[in-house]
Chain A
Amino acid sequence: MIGLVRDIVTSLGNAGPLVRLLVTVAIMLASALIVLGIVLLYEGFATYAERKVAGDIQARIGPNRVGPYGLLQFVADGVKLLLKEDIIPFYADRWLFVLAPYIVFTASFAAFVPLSYSEHVYVADLNVGVLYIIAISSVVSMAILMGSWGSNNKWSLFGGMRAVAQIISYEIPIVLSLLAAVIVPASLDMKDIIGCQAGGLGIFRWLLFNNPFTLLAFFVYFIAAIAEVNRTPFDIPEAESEIVAGYHTEYTGMRFAFFFMAEYGDMFVVSALATTLFLGGWQVPFIGGLAMPVWLRELLEVAVFFGKVFLLIYVMMWIRWTLPRLRVDQLMDLCWKYLTPIAFFNLIGASIWVLAFHGKGVYDLIAGLYAH
């Protein structure tokens, strides 16, 4: 996208600096709107999918009234949420209360920026993409604390405290396990990371199969990521049977919807990150090397990327509707006594592997044996 902006701005020739600025802003805005549209559409689809998956697991039908197969259910939900009365509790801290949902949503939305959906479809090619996502998604915890404190409700406060403790704790295993993966391509840039996973019969160059440590790192990352997005079995910040609805107890209508959408947005981001780092991103398995028109290749890549992401999201939904919830202290035990040490030693192991084999993965080593 930045490249596109540069090209267009250059093609403007000798236009004045104001025009250049305006054009730049306009393009930025337009691309932001496109992404927003896609994100909203995805979120609508995800809520629908969640309810259908839940229905399937729970031996019932799920939404089937609005539109064919209930596909338009999310539109109806959106309209309903928009029409709901917007209640701000009398004793709430107005500023914090009003601001929190926007920050949550913004943070979740901003994390979509550095994702690479195919070789040429991406918003921004940041050279610190992974770091950026980790940083921006931490903002969520701050916003949740704002909302929970601002609500002036004890259940909200419980939820907010739990959320902050949980998100900050789980950030550590997440970062450590991501590090174990990114030291192989030695880059934080999404394009480089995905690029190094090409070939190898389609899937064996994925960082997941690069070495035993990255395989373990993937599972540590995925477990921690479920906690990061507050989903069952780690949904204690909004555990409805314990603390009513946690930090969004007092939120109604559209403000509640922002929290809700942020959760689904975060799900996408963590799954996309897992896809990018471990599952080869948009690399099309098996037929990636064949010659084909650019548009077809791009289409395939986007489809493959989304397919992998949705598979991970499906696993999250599956887990959510199967498992009960952990208790707060058990959740912290899991993080500090198991995931963090595992991730840490894993990182050391992965570093040694990279040093010892000069960054070659298991597949390359085996293929190398046969080549001789």
Chain B
Amino acid sequence: MAGADEKFMQVSMGPQHPSTHGVLRLLVKTDGEVLSSIKPYIGYLHRGLEKIAERVTYPQFTPFTDRLDYLASMNCNLAYAMTVERLLGIEVPRRAQIIRVIMAELNRISSHLIAFGSLSADMGAFTPFLFGIREREFINDLFEMACGARLTYNYIRIGGVSQDIPGGFIEKAREFLDYFPPKIKEYNDLISYNSIFIKRLADIAVIRPEDAFDYGITGPNLRASGIPWDLRRDEPYLVYGELDFEVPVGRGEMGSTGDAWDRYMMRIYEMEQSAKIVRQCLAMLEPGDHTAKVPKVLKPPAGEVYVRAENPRGELGFYLISDGSTKPYRLRIRAPSFATLSIVPKLGKGVMIADLVAIIGSLDIILPEIDR
């Protein structure tokens, strides 16, 4: 078992372990409770999506994007649709753009609810998780109204959305927006400012800005390190340019900037902002088409594009090469969690087992997107 360095015990954390957020395997060497090295092993969920993309037509690949980050399917759909639209030069009608933003932001809230809940559950407090699930249920109902699905939506299609939002959706969404913000205060009272919780997360696994760049960390994790970078604001797509929202950044409220608590809190702040965005979008909705005129057979001109969008877990990018046929020549998926996971061996040196759980939970990785 040990061999050369018999001082250490080698433990395989995962692929079946309650807090590796999927089938991640971490081979850790420990000296008692303290970790001396971490080696991540991934690929248990590898389905070869990039290979599949080369064998199916452009619209056929949309359902596969649902399975990338299953907690934020809408956002994955969106990034893929935008990539193909950029290649084809399709202009999406304004109504469809607004609907897309509503869906993407609602999905961001529901994804962050899981992130917030599962980190709390990892810290031993199970109640916040169920609180998160309770609110997520509301969003799932909204999505079910819109597209009939509750997890893999396949709603945002190339050219627009699959169908217009049904009657009653706007009222129900408004109801949610009135219901949700007080709940955030409830979360803060329950767990965010709980002193044990702060003790567990503050100053744990601090990611300095230069490390964040070096390891390709994006999204809330990057912003927690104090970098105000959000593609929605800095490279606006859809109607984000017209919306009024803030980009929260980590300020080291409870410890150093970029610690686990900052990363956790980014999600709470972003949920508030997303709710704000959805409210504005609902007011902006005007009658119009829900999809552009898209030909039955999509044959984009030969060329290559790289399009990225702000997902709940960071930048999701699609690098798409077309050879002029009906199928992509090469589709490379740049998954945010993949890059994020690469910093774990660095962060996990010399911490305790319990901290490793905090690191994984606060980075909020998701395995299907890493393994693709």
Contact = CB atoms under 8 A, between A and B. Distances in A.
B130 A324 contact: no
Nearest to B16: A244
Given A59-B134, A240-B18, A244-B17, A325 B123 contact: yes
Main secondary structure of the interface of B (DSSP, over half): helix
Interface stretch (B100-108, B209-217, B349-357): B349-357
B11 interface: yes
A327 B125 contact: no
B131 A327 contact: no
B194 A324 contact: yes
A329 interface: yes
Interface in B152-199: 190-191, 194, 196-197, 199
A122 B9 CA distance: 49
A233 B196 contact: yes
A241 B353 contact: no
Given A57-B127, A158-B353, A328-B352, A241 B199 contact: no
Nearest to A322: B127
A232 interface: yes
A58 B18 contact: no
A321 interface: yes
Contact of A327 (B122, B127, B191, B355): B355
A366 interface: no
Nearest to A326: B196
A328 B130 contact: no
B33 interface: yes
Contacts of A58: 126-127, 130-131
Nearest to A59: B134
Contacts of B32: 161
B200 interface: yes
A57 B32 CA distance: 36
B221 interface: no
Interface string B1-25: 0000000010100000111000000
Interface in B93-145: 120-127, 130-131, 134
Query: In this complex, which of B9, B18, B124, B354 has the most chain A Cβ atoms within 10 angstroms of its Cβ?
Result: B124
Interface in A218-260: 232-233, 235-236, 239-244
A372 interface: no
A60 B130 contact: yes
Contact of B197 (A59, A240, A243, A324): A324
B17 A321 contact: no
B29 to A, nearest CB: 12
Contacts of A329: 33, 352
Contact of B124 (A57, A155, A161, A232): A232
Given A242-B19, A324-B200, A235 B124 contact: yes
Contacts of B190: 322
A330 interface: yes
A323 B126 CA distance: 9
Contacts of B126: 58, 321
Given A323-B194, A328-B352, A330-B199, A241 B19 contact: yes
Contacts of B120: 324
Given A154-B9, A241-B19, A241-B124, A326 B352 contact: no
Given A154-B9, A233-B196, A244-B18, A322 B131 contact: no
Nearest to A243: B353
Contacts of B9: 154
B125 A324 contact: yes
Name the residue among A158, A242, A322, A326 with the largest chain B CB count within 10 angstroms.
A242
A329 B355 CA distance: 11
Contacts of A233: 124, 196
Contacts of B196: 233, 323-326
Interface string A155-166: 100100100000
Residue of A58, A241, A322, A323 contacting most chain B CB atoms (<10 Å): A241
A328 B18 CA distance: 19
A240 B353 CA distance: 12
A232 B18 CA distance: 17
B124 A239 contact: yes
A233 B11 CA distance: 25
Interface in A161-178: 161
A327 B354 contact: yes
A241 B357 contact: yes
Contact of A324 (B124, B131, B352, B355): B124
29 contacts: A58-B127, A59-B130, A232-B125, A233-B124, A236-B354, A239-B124, A239-B354, A240-B18, A241-B19, A241-B123, A241-B357, A242-B19, A323-B194, A324-B124, A324-B191, A324-B194, A324-B196, A324-B197, A324-B200, A325-B123, A325-B125, A325-B196, A325-B200, A326-B200, A327-B199, A327-B200, A327-B355, A328-B352, A328-B354
**Pairs A-B, 3 closest by C-beta atoms:** A325-B124, A324-B125, A324-B123
Interface of B: 9, 11, 17-19, 32-33, 120-127, 130-131, 134, 190-191, 194, 196-197, 199-200, 352-355, 357
Given A243-B353, A321-B126, A325-B354, 7 more contacts: A155-B11, A235-B124, A236-B354, A241-B121, A241-B357, A325-B123, A325-B200
